[in-house]
Amino acid sequence: MISQIGGRPIEPSGSGSLWESGPSPGCRRCSVVDPLPENGELAETLGVPFIEGDPANDAVLIEAGISRARSIIACADSDPQNIFITLTARELRADIPIVARAALEDSEKKLKRAGADRVISPYKASGTEMARLALHPQLRGVIDVDAEYRLERLVVGEDCEGAGQMIGDIRGSAMIVGLRRGSEFHPQPPADTKLQTGDVINAMGTPTTLERLETLFDTPGELASGGRQDAGEREPGAGNH
């Protein structure tokens, strides 16, 4: 189960993206926590479970199933509220990945200090990307290249299915356009390059082909318990929406 902690501006696109992703192996059910009853009607139209209440309240998050949640998206329409949500969620679950919304640049640092793993500005990213980051903590960035293609940066997690395999065996229809290993960057790595834990690959392809790679690089711990991964360094020229 993925708990989404909602708010009016971004909640519809975020929860819709999560729900439309299921029931694939890389996705779990999501639910929305929001104090506004009118958002319950919207959740109902999406077929998403809705809990009416304050998402910064311990009891409400426990009722929503935070103990079982794989990820949390804090996207209320108030930065202070998102900070309180993040603090509460982090106190209840030290290991859960939290993606939070920030309207002001100054709030990004505060959300990080509160315990958010990723902070997304609505001016830089959409609710769809927030959902993808929550579902796949190993995903480090997304760039839309064309209407049907995008470029993603993926981290090879420990004990994931893709670790130890050769690029030619895992890439499928995607194009692996770059590989960062430690301080070295290798453009267009050879097909016989064996992937190691901690490698960062740049892959380009359709959403379907990239979703397959995301599943390959999900670690067993993430799928089972919602464990966190630390953010990797950005490569020169790479960016997020």
Read off the pLDDT of residues 176-190 as tens digits, 9 standing for 90 and up. Answer: 999 999 989 999 999
pLDDT for 191: 94
pLDDT for 80: 93
Q: What is the mean pLDDT of the chain?
A: 76
Q: Does the predicted TM-score (pTM) go above 0.85?
A: no
79-92 and 105-114 helices, crossing angle to 10°: 10
Of 65, 79, 78, nearest to 33 by C-alpha is: 65
pLDDT for 158: 83
Q: Is pLDDT of 192 > 90?
A: yes
11-21 and 37-46 helices, crossing angle to 10°: 30
CB 135 within 8 A of CB 226: no
All domains of the chain in start order, with CATH:
2-135 (3.40.50.720), 139-225 (3.30.70.1450)
81 — pLDDT class (breaks 50, 70, 90): very high
Q: Is pLDDT of 96 > 60?
A: yes
More confident residue, 129 or 23: 129
pLDDT for 87: 95
pLDDT for 23: 40
CB 28 within 8 A of CB 70: yes
